[in-house]
Amino acid sequence: MGTCLNNLGRLYEECGQLDRGIALHRKAVALRQDVLGDHEDTAFSLGNLGVALASGMIDGITVNAGGDLLHVGEEPLVVGIENPHRPYDNEPPLVRITLQTGAVATSGGARRGWTIDGTWYSHVIDPRTGEPVDHVAQASVVAPHASRADAVATILTVMAPHEGAAFANSLGDVGFMLVGSDGSITNNGYWKSREIN
């Protein structure tokens, strides 16, 4: 049902009815929370692993699943966010953030995609056009749950930066950083409050 609401929201956005589309995306997020209750992560493998490990006699646990990270513990974790324009293992992070108990997820085309006739195409496809996304290089999201961070990060790579910022800000408990294909950075106060200078 949540997927249907998201798809319908995208159709409204295609027709120029952005407010109606965003309202449907919000309903999809609310439905997922209603179904999963306070334990949203129990329906997802990353969340299952983190919740299971942290429920025992362990003081904290960090699970990194290739772009999605869940941290549960009393001690904050410092997380480096990769520069999508320089995705090299020895490159310093674009920014660093602190994460207490919660999740951070990054979505974008820096590491996953295809080269066709010498041109790089992101693996993220805009469902409205069927074309690879090229306006957002990367979206990173901090949220209380891994599933929420992952879903919102993917949505933000598809939406135009101003639309994505409005959507993420409407959720209330989400921090985000968008890196545009031109290198521009858009983020919100929730994200900035976690950045380390």
Please, what are the averages of pLDDT over each run of 10 residues along the chain (197 residues)? 57 67 68 51 45 55 82 88 87 93 90 87 88 92 91 93 94 94 94 92
| Residue 6: predicted pLDDT | 55
- Please classify residue 73 by burial: count the beta carbons closer than 10 Å to its beta carbon, then call 0-12 exposed, 13-18 middle and 19+ buried: middle
pLDDT at residue 46, rounded to an integer: 47
Instruction: Copy the structure tokens of residue 36.
Output: 């999963």
- The CATH code that applies to domain 65-196 is 3.10.520.10
The predicted structure's pLDDT at residue 15: 67
pTM, rounded to two decimals: 0.71
